[in-house]
Structure 1
Amino acid sequence: MSVHVIKMPDIGEGITEVELVAWRVTLGERVVEDQVLADVMTDKATVEIPSPVVGRVVSLGGEPGQVLAVGGELIRIEVEEAEHASAAATALVQTPAPSMPAPPTPAPVAASSSEAHAPKLVMPAPGSGSVLAMRQAATNLSTASTAPTASPAVRRRAHQLGIELQNVPASGADGRITHEDLDAYVTRCSSSPVASTGDNRYAERHDEAAIPVIGLRRKIAQKMQEAKRRIPHFTYVEECDVTEIEALRAHLNTRWAGERGRLTLLPLLMRAMVLALREYPQCNARFDDDAGVVTRYGAVHIGIATQTAAGLMVPVVHHAEARDLWSNAAEISRLAEAARAGRAVRAELSGSTITVTSLGALGGLVSTPVINHPEVAIVGVNRIIERPVVRDNLVVARKMMNLSSSFDHRVVDGLDAAEFVQALRAYLESPATLFVE
C-alpha cells in the first residue's frame, strides 16, 4: 500500500492560509472517496475538505485552531489497492459490515470544537443516587470512625452539599474537618458539587470550563479588535417616531402578505438608507487606511448583522438600491437562513458598503455598534416602545424607537453623521416619501 498526502488546497481569491476548525476523522479511521476529512475556515466561510482516495488515516497535519498555509500538508492516508478499495466501496454501498459502521454524522463546527476541548465531568454511576454514590465513595476513602469535629460554618456547608461529616477525612488540628477537607472530598467523589435532596441554591460551585477561541469565534474576535483598534468610533443616537411606518407595514402585510410575504421594519429602513445615502455618499464607503484611500460607492450593499449558533455573521444584500421592499425582505430571509445553516458562501458574506445591526425586541434603548471594518458607518436599530408623547399640545401614545449609529470619525464628520441620521429619521417618520423620487 502507498501513502497519499493531501495538501491544503488553494481556495482562491489570493488566500494564503486558512484555519483548521475541526477534524471529521480520527487516526486509524478508514475513509472512503468524497468523505469529508476536515473543516477549514477562511474569512467567515467554512470549507469542507473531502478525501480523493479510499484508505486509512495515518497522520493528521494539525490541531483545531491552528492556522495552516495553503499547500501545506493536511493529512496522510494509507491508500488501499484499487481492487480492494473498489470491493470495499461496493460493500459499503450495498450492505455495511457490522464491524465497519458508517462514520457518524458530524456535529456542527462550533459544537465539535467546543466538545473536543470541554472538560469531562465524572459523575456518579446512573441509578445509584448522587448522595448514595458519594457516601459509598467516602466509605472507601475514610479511615476514621470517630465522631467528626467541625466548625458551624463547615457543618452548614456540608449539610447544603448533602455530605455526612463522618465520611470526610480530616486534616485540621485535633481531627477537625476544614473547608479544604470538604473541597478535597467533593473533588474525589465527583468533579463538581452534587445536588442534595435539600436546598442547595447557595452551595458553592468550583467548576470551570476552558473554551478555545477558534473558528468563527476567533474570526469575530479578530475583526472586532481590528475595528476598535483602527477606527475612532463616533456614535450618534436619535429618537424616531415609527407610528406611521408601523401602520403602513401592518397595512402592506394585510394586503400582500399572502402573495409576497410578510414585511418587517428592516426592508423599510433599508429603503430609507438607500435614499439618505444619495444625499450623504460619504457614509456609503470603505476606507483603506493603509493606502489612505476612501472609496465611495453608488451601489448600496447592505450588510445584515445576523446571530447564528456559531456566532455573529454579516451576510450582504447586494444592490439594495435596485430592490423593492419585498425583494429586500426575501433576500434578508434567504441569507439569514443560509448563514444560520452554515451554507452561506464567501460571496454572500463579503462586499458590504454599510451595515445594519438590530437585536429586535432585545434591542434596548441605546447601543454603541462596532463598525464593520473597513466600512465607515453602521446603523443600529433599538427596540420599539409605545410611550406618551406631546403632539400638538396633547399627550398621545406613540411608537418610539432609537437609531444608534456609529461612524468612522476619520472620514465622516460629526455634522455629516448627524444629518445622515436625521435624514433617515425624516424618511421613517413620513413613510410616503420612501416612494417619491
Structure 2
Amino acid sequence: MAEHTIKMPDVGEGVAEAELVEWHVKIGDPVREDTVLAAVMTDKATVEIPSPVEGEIAWLGAEIGDVVAVGSPLIRIKTAGGASDAPMDDEAGEAPVADGMAQEGEGVPPPPAKETPKVAAKAEVKPPEKSKPIFSSGAPRAEGEKPLASPAVRLRAKEAGIDLRQVAGSGPAGRITHEDVDGFLSAGRQGSVKGLSRRTDVEDIKIVGLRRKIAEKMALSKRSIPHITYVEEIDVTALEETRAAMNASKKPDQPKLTLLPFLMRAMARAIADQPELNAVFDDEAGIVHRHGGIHIGIAAQTANGLVVPVVRHVEARDIWDCGAEVARLADAAKAGTAGRDELSGSTITITSLGAMGGVVTTPVINHPEVAIVGVNKMMIRPVWDGSQFIPRKMMNLSSSFDHRVIDGWDAARFIQRIKVLMETPALIFVEG
C-alpha cells in the first residue's frame, strides 16, 4: 500500500490561506478519482477539492472552520501499489519541512480513540442508557452532547420539526448530513416532543464559511463608516402600470421585468448629476475613488447566506439588458456558480427583501462604497389628492450613506431625484 498526500491548493490571486467549510468524506471512506473530498473558501469564492487518485481516506488534517495555509497537508489517501509520497510512521521525524510535511509526527494518523469511524459506529449501534431515555425513538447521543450539522441541515431539520439530537450522524466526528435526515424521516420518526417543557440546552454554532465573511464585512462597515439613513416614500402606481404593459408586450427572448431594472436606470440617471455617490472610500489612504462606470451590486439572499452579484456598466445598459443581467446573476448566486469577478467590484449597492421588505429598514453600507439604496415593501395606501383619498401603490426607499463624504443634503437630493424619475417613469427613457 502507498499513501498519497493532498495539500491545500493554490486558489490563485495571491491567496495564502483558505477556510475549510465542508468535508465530503471521512476516514475509511473509499474514493475514486475526481471524487469531491472537501470544499474551501476564500473571500466569497468556494472551491471544491477533487481526489486525484483512487483509494481510501487515511487521514484528515483539519476541522470545519479551520484556516489552512496553501501547501499544507490536508488529506492522505491510501492507494494500491506505487511508492508513497508521504513518510511512514517511523520516518515522520525525518520528513523535510521544504516538502510541505510537518515534523515530529504531525503526519501520524490520530489515535483510535479520536478516529471518526468509531465515533460514527457508536452512534449507529449503541442505544441510549436505559436510565436516561430522552425520547421513545431512542437518542443516538448522550444527554448534553451537541449535534454537529451544517447550517443547511439545521434549517431543514427546523422546518421539518426534527430535533437533531435524535439523529445519528454518519459524517466526520458524527456530523449529521442530509442523508441522515432522509433516513430519519423515512423511518417515520418524530424529533420533537409534544406538549410544553422547559429546555436548558445551549447549542454552540461555529461561525464558518460565507457566514463568517458576512459577519466580518458587516462589522467592518459599521465600525468604520458613520451611517446616515434617509427614508422617502415613492408613488410607484404609474411605474407598475408601465412595467405591466412592457411585460405584456415583451418579446420571447426578453426577460420578465421586475422593479429593479427601473430603479437601476433611475439611479444611473441620478448618478450622472451626482457622481460622488458612485464611489468607494479608501480609509487608509484617505482617498475617495469616484468611478465613471456604474457597477451596481444587488444584495441577494441564498441558502448559504447573503451575496452581492454585480451588474457592471449600468450606464450602458437599457431596461431589458439590466433585467436580463439581474436574472442571470440571481440564478448563478442561488446555484452557487457565480464567479469571484461576478461577486466583487460594485460601486453602489441595492438591497431588497422583496415582499418581506417591511415599511422601513436601515441598510448597512457595502464597504468600501459610500451609498446603498434599500427597497421596502410595496403596498396600497390611501393618498390625499387635494379633494379625496385615493388608493395608490406606495413604496419606501430606505437608503444609507457614508457621512464622512456624503452630506445629508446631498443624500436627500439624490433620493429625491430617483423619486421624480420613478414616479414619472417616462423620464427614465428620455435621453440627456
Q: Normalising TM by the smaller chain, what interval?
A: 0.7 to 0.9
Residue equivalent to 1:28: 28
Q: Which amino acid aligns with 1:283?
A: L
**Distance (Å, rounded) in 2 between the aligned partners of 1:192 and 1:314:** 36
Q: Which residue of 2 aligns with 1:427?
A: 421
1:58 CA displacement: 1.6
The 3-state SS of whatever aligns with 1:5 is strand
- Alignment match of 1:219 (pick from 205, 213, 220): 213
Look up the match of 2:165: 121
* CA-CA distance at 1:206 after TM superposition: 4.1
| Residue in structure 1 matching 2:242, options 228, 243, 248 | 248
Per-residue Cα deviation, 1:138-165 (whole angstroms, up to 9, x for no partner): xxxxxxxxxxxxxxxxxxxxxxxxxxxx
The answer as to whether partners of 1:377 and 1:408 remain within 8 angstroms in 2 is yes
Q: TM-score, normalised by structure 2?
A: 0.74
Residue 203 of structure 1 deviates from its aligned partner by 3.8
- Give the TM-score normalised by the residue count of structure 1: 0.73
Cα separation, 1, equivalents of 2:306 and 2:330: 11
Unaligned runs of 5+ in 2: 84-148, 168-189
Sort the Cα spacing of 1:122 and 1:397 in 2 relative to 1 into closer, same or farther, 3 A.
closer
* Number of the residue aligned with 2:13: 13
- What does residue 133 of structure 1 align with? none
Indicate the SS of the match to 2:46: strand
Offset, 1:428: 0.5
1:336 aligns with 2:377: no
1:203-240 alpha-carbon deviations (Å, 9 max, x no partner): 43445533221111111111111111111111011111
SS for the counterpart of 1:260 is coil
Q: Which has the larger radius of gyration?
A: 1
Question: Paired residue for 1:405?
Answer: 399
From 276, 299, 303, the equivalent of 1:282 is 276
The answer as to whether partners of 1:64 and 1:113 remain within 8 angstroms in 2 is no
In 2, are the aligned partners of 1:193 and 1:204 still within 8 Å (CA)?
Answer: no
Q: CA deviation at 1:70?
A: 1.6
Identity %: 58
What value does the CA root-mean-square deviation take over the aligned residues?
2.6
Aligned 1:267-346 pairs, distance under 5 A: 267-346=261-340
2:155 maps to 1:111: no
Structure 1 residues 207, 258: closer, same or farther in 2, change over 3 A? farther
**How many positions carry a matched residue from both structures?**
341
2:129 aligned residue:
none
| Residue pairs, 1:93-172, within 5 angstroms | 110-111=151-152, 120-122=164-166
Is the Cα–Cα contact under 8 Å of residues 164 and 191 in structure 2 kept in the other structure?
no
Structure 1 window deviating more from structure 2 (348-357 vs 71-80): it is: 71-80
**Alignment partners' CA distance in 2, 1:288 and 1:25:** 42
Contact 1:57 1:76 in 2 (8 A): yes
What's the counterpart of residue 40 of structure 1?
40
The one-letter code sitting in structure 2 at the alignment partner of 1:3 is E
Q: Corresponding residue for 2:134?
A: none
Give yes or no for contact 2:298–2:351 (8 Å, CA) kept in 1.
Answer: yes
Question: Counterpart amino acid of 2:45?
Answer: A
Report the structure, 1 or 2, having the larger helix content.
1
The residue number in structure 1 matching 2:193 is 194
